[in-house]
Amino acid sequence: MSESPNYLKNLKKESVVQSVINCLTDAMRNKELKPGDRIPPEPELAASLGVARSSVREAIKILTYLGVLESKRSEGTFVCDGFKESMIDPMIYGILLNQDSSVNLMELREMTEAGLMRLAILKYDEAEGKKLEEILKQMRAVLDSKENVVDNFFNIDNNFHDMISQMGKNPLADKISRVVRTLTHAMRYETVAAMINGGRSEELLTAHTRLYQVLKNRDLSNLHEIVTGSYFGEVLEHTSEKQ
């Protein structure tokens, strides 16, 4: 019988399923298992680790749900090759269950936005800049319409930041940005509503206009100050007051 891979010898004293998960993920971090590699069959894993097949099966099921492993019928189970959407889902659920995360999330939002702005400046494209300018015009039209202003402005605001995220031309950064915006949806909506209903609509529009001008001028000099001085600062202030 051939000698078992090193990662099968690392079973730790904890929940059996978690131990199997740890052994496999440790092997991925150590490059013993690489993207595209086929992991040993369930019976072999169970025998090597000294655990029940049911524990191995459950561990594989969890890692498959997380997008780390994928099963191919009649071929076996393989380490995924590339980023999967489902990898981020557990993080989202965990953060949503953390009741004290509002300010932390908005700080993360601010950091993410500054990073995306930098990428968008470095990779600025005139055609995309025109699209961003059109979104600003839509914001102006919504404010002037006086109809369902909060909801309509918030939807266009999301389009504005989606566009900046796309302009960065980095799929991973774009995905992280979308996740952060999903997590901060409620508090961002509350802040937009508070500013519009509080007679500060023009401040909101000005904040977005400044971001657009920084992009158009490809100005990296005061980027952090511009982002923190935009309405994200208002969001941080708003969420701090509520806690």
Name residue 79's beta-bridge partners. Answer: 69
* Inside any domain, residue 121: yes
Contact status, residue 230 vs residue 210, Cβ threshold 8 Å: yes
User: What CATH number corresponds to the domain at position 202?
Assistant: 1.20.120.530
Distance, in Å, from the CA atom of 165 to the CA atom of 155, rounded to the nearest integer, reads 15
Q: Which domain holds residue 35?
A: 6-84
pLDDT digits (tens), the chain, 243 positions: 456 566 555 554 458 888 898 899 888 888 899 999 999 999 999 999 899 999 999 999 988 877 889 988 889 999 988 766 556 666 665 665 565 567 777 788 888 888 999 999 999 999 999 999 999 999 999 999 988 999 999 999 999 999 999 999 998 888 888 888 887 887 788 888 989 999 999 988 998 998 999 999 998 887 777 777 665 555 445 444 554
For residues 95 and 79, state if they share a domain: no
For residues 37 and 62, state if they share a domain: yes
Model confidence pLDDT, tens digit, residues 60-85? 998 887 788 998 888 999 998 876 65
For residues 60 and 150, state if they share a domain: no
Looking at 34, 63, 84, which one is the last position of a domain?
84
- Which ranges constitute the DSSP H helices of 30-82? 42-49, 53-65
Looking at 29, 56, 84, which one is the last position of a domain?
84
Burial 60-86 (b: 16+ CB within 10 A, else e): bebbeebbbbeeeeeeebbbbeeeeee
Contact status, residue 227 vs residue 110, Cβ threshold 8 Å: yes
Looking at 84, 117, 147, which one is the last position of a domain?
84
Contact status, residue 150 vs residue 193, Cβ threshold 8 Å: yes
Three-state SS for 38? strand
Distance, in Å, from the CA atom of 242 to the CA atom of 190, rounded to the nearest integer, reads 11
SS3 sequence, 108-165? HHHHHHHHHHHHHHHCCCHHHHHHHHHHHHHHHHHHHHCCCHHHHHHHHHHHHHHHHH
Contact status, residue 135 vs residue 228, Cβ threshold 8 Å: no
Model confidence pLDDT, tens digit, residues 96-140? 556 556 777 778 888 888 899 999 999 999 999 999 999 999 999
Query: Model pTM?
Result: 0.64
For residues 132 and 171, state if they share a domain: yes
